[in-house]
Amino acid sequence: MIEMKKAIAPEIEKLHNWLKERENDLLRDYRKMLQIPSIQSDPLPDAPFGAENRKALDYALELSKQFGMKTTDLEGFIGFGEFGTGTPLILSLGHLDVVPTGPGWKHPEFGAEIDNGYVYSRGAVDDKGPTMASLYALRAIKECFPDLKVRFRQVFGCNEESGFNCVHRYTKTEELPTFGVAPDSGWPLCNAEKGIGDLIVSIPLLTGSFALKELSGGQRPNIVIDRVEGKVEVSPEIKSVVSVSASEHWDKNVTYSWNNNELEFVATGKAAHGSTPFSGDSALTKALRFLLSICPLDAKEYHDELVQIMQPSGVGLGIHGREDATGDLTSNIGIVTTSDGAIHLTVNVRYPTSWTGGELLKKCESHLKSLTCKATVKLDHDAKGLYYPLDSVLVKTILTAYREETGDMTEPFSMGGGTYARAIANTVSIGTGWLGDGDAHQTDERLAVESLYKMSRIYSHILYALALEAL
């Protein structure tokens, strides 16, 4: 619902005008950051997440220095720029690391090309655009209100997409904020984030006349698998029947070929963020359905159980659940491998905030015992969710600032995505784009140039309002 915007206070107009005069600078620095392919890679000295993440952090800290901020580098895990005096601390937490790109891009993945008003690049929306807009928003506050008795920090994380080790390093030595935001979700803000747990499910490979030998695919637990490759050894006695069944399979996104008695297959799907697996089209689900449709009768139960495990509701793992604050649990199998005589599935689960990771594991263990495929499970990673009531000072202050800026009366929301907010007290995540801007983790990720500028202005209002509330 959109209402008439309220008049903007003179202090906010001052911030807006300062930012409008430097939009070209923001766009230049943003594009330069995008051109750094900061996908996590092998660790190096002072670069625990690889050389490109180190390069992105160096660039962010150098900009902060140029803007007159004091910078801190925590061994390459994470860094920040800080300014101001006083006891209150206002934090903005962004991240510079990005997920892998995958196939199908029409624009160079790290080209930062501008096409019809949009900047195309991995990280355009998640999270380099919001992070750079936030840096400029804080710079505006620094220049426009130098006597404000509040300290501000812009944090630059390097491991948000694959473990949060960066922010865990931050919390070991750094103080908690009075108020914080993580520009990495949707508008107006997210006041509830589901818990996130990675389950490793291992299933012994089935032997016999239809023996699965290899199955591999996936890039990260939090990405829907878009390509899977596999091999099945088929006994000569049933090869002709399997061959006919394969030729009649309905899904043309699965292709296959024979190498003597070995059936080699490839399934292709569509990537999406692991918090919304139903927005993608899992290549692993396609591959398992293919195997189920062509396997002999004595292998049907085994392969049917594999297909059931793929359900994004978590029903096939016995973990389905919901709560009012965050809605339904979601389950995404983001990586599949075969080794040591077993299939290994990395399952990225977004679960209710009222649960714990231990409860999630117990539910899954109990269900797997009822299956014939003899699956086992362990909890590989767990991050508890967060929830801030609508009447909390943090939520009300952000919501008021956003509504004054936009006139948009949309209520705060919950999500399955995980942001830095869950790791830092007194922090929630806020929006990163609008209709027409690209989605996180998708091919040809994009952000409108005008959205970048608009975000910087809204962030300046929110951060300034939080600072006044903290005094």
Same domain, 117 and 203: no
Structural domain of residue 87, as residue ranges? 10-194+386-470
Is the predicted pLDDT of residue 283 greater than 60, yes or no? yes
Q: Determine how many CB atoms are found less than 10 A away from the CB of residue 403.
A: 17
Same domain, 362 and 296: yes
- Tell me whether residue 5 is in a domain: no
How many domains, the chain?
2
Structure confidence by residue, pLDDT tens digits, 186-198: 999 999 999 999 9
> Among 172, 195, 164, which residue's Cα sits nearest to residue 379?
195
Q: What's the pLDDT score for residue 129?
A: 98
Over residues 54-58, mean pLDDT = 98
- Tell me whether residue 30 is in a domain: yes
Same domain, 368 and 412: no
Q: What's the pLDDT score for residue 163?
A: 83
Is residue 386 within a helix (H) or strand (E), and if so which, with residue range?
A: strand 386-387
Q: How do beta strands 330-339 and 78-83 pair?
A: unpaired
CA–CA dist 332, 321 (Å, integer): 15
Same domain, 165 and 99: yes
Same domain, 281 and 172: no
DSSP 89-158: EEEEEEE--B----S--SS-TT--EEETTEEESTTTTTTHHHHHHHHHHHHHHHHH-TT-S-EEEEEEES
Structure confidence by residue, pLDDT tens digits, 308-330: 999 999 999 999 999 988 999 99
Same domain, 122 and 144: yes
DSSP 229-273: EEEEEE-TTTHHHHHHHHHT-S-TTEEEEEETTEEEEEEE-B--B
Q: Is 225 helix (H, G, I), strand (E, B) or coil?
A: coil
Is residue 338 within a helix (H) or strand (E), and if so which, with residue range?
A: strand 330-339
CA distances from 220 to 99, 161, 192, 304, 345 (A): 8, 9, 24, 25, 11
Locus of tokens 């790109």: 101
Same domain, 357 and 455: no
Q: What's the pLDDT score for residue 463?
A: 98
Same domain, 375 and 413: no
Locus of tokens 């062509």: 294
Is the predicted pLDDT of residue 42 greater than 70, yes or no? yes
Is the predicted pLDDT of residue 3 greater than 80, yes or no? no
Distance of CA 255 to the CA centre of its chain: 30
pTM of the predicted structure, to 2 decimals: 0.77
SS3 content of the chain, % helix, strand, coil (to 5): 35, 30, 35
Sign of the torsion formed by the C-alpha atoms of 136, 451, 423 and 333? negative
Q: Please, what is the average pLDDT of the chain?
A: 96
Same domain, 39 and 184: yes
Same domain, 332 and 461: no
Q: How do beta strands 322-323 and 189-193 pair?
A: unpaired
Q: What's the pLDDT score for residue 233?
A: 98
Q: What's the pLDDT score for residue 416?
A: 85
pLDDT band at 336 (very low <50, low <70, confident <90, very high): very high
Is the predicted pLDDT of residue 4 greater than 60, yes or no? no
Angle at CA of residue 91, ends 398 and 99, nearest 5° = 95
Structure confidence by residue, pLDDT tens digits, 21-35: 999 999 999 999 999
**Tokens standing for 166?**
């960066």
Same domain, 22 and 135: yes
Is the predicted pLDDT of residue 162 greater than 90, yes or no? no
Examine the fold and report which residue of 333, 365, 383 is the final residue of a domain before the chain moves on: 383
CA–CA dist 165, 170 (Å, integer): 9
Return the CATH number at 216: 3.30.70.360
Examine the fold and report which residue of 328, 358, 383 is the final residue of a domain before the chain moves on: 383
- Tell me whether residue 450 is in a domain: yes
Return the CATH number at 126: 3.40.630.10
Structure confidence by residue, pLDDT tens digits, 107-158: 999 999 999 999 999 999 999 999 999 999 999 999 999 999 999 999 999 9
Sign of the torsion formed by the C-alpha atoms of 45, 48, 50 and 53? negative
Q: Determine how many CB atoms are found less than 10 A away from the CB of residue 324.
A: 9
The backbone torsions φ and ψ at residue 342, rounded to the nearest 5 degrees and listed phi first, read: -145, 155
Examine the fold and report which residue of 383, 407, 426 is the final residue of a domain before the chain moves on: 383
What are residue 392's DSSP bridge partners? none
Is the predicted pLDDT of residue 1 greater than 70, yes or no? no
Q: Determine how many CB atoms are found less than 10 A away from the CB of residue 431.
A: 24
- Tell me whether residue 248 is in a domain: yes
Structure confidence by residue, pLDDT tens digits, 233-257: 999 999 999 999 999 999 999 999 9
* Measured torsion, CA atoms of residues 456, 182, 464, 407, in degrees rounded to the nearest 10: 60
pLDDT band at 439 (very low <50, low <70, confident <90, very high): confident
Q: What's the pLDDT score for residue 71?
A: 98
Cβ-count burial of 173 within 10 angstroms (0-12 exposed, 13-18 middle, 19+ buried)? Answer: exposed
Over residues 1-19, mean pLDDT = 83
CA distances from 444 to 226, 228, 432 (A): 15, 21, 16
Same domain, 336 and 236: yes
Q: Are 219 and 102 in contact (CB under 8 A)?
A: yes
Q: Are 240 and 220 in contact (CB under 8 A)?
A: no
CA–CA dist 295, 235 (Å, integer): 11
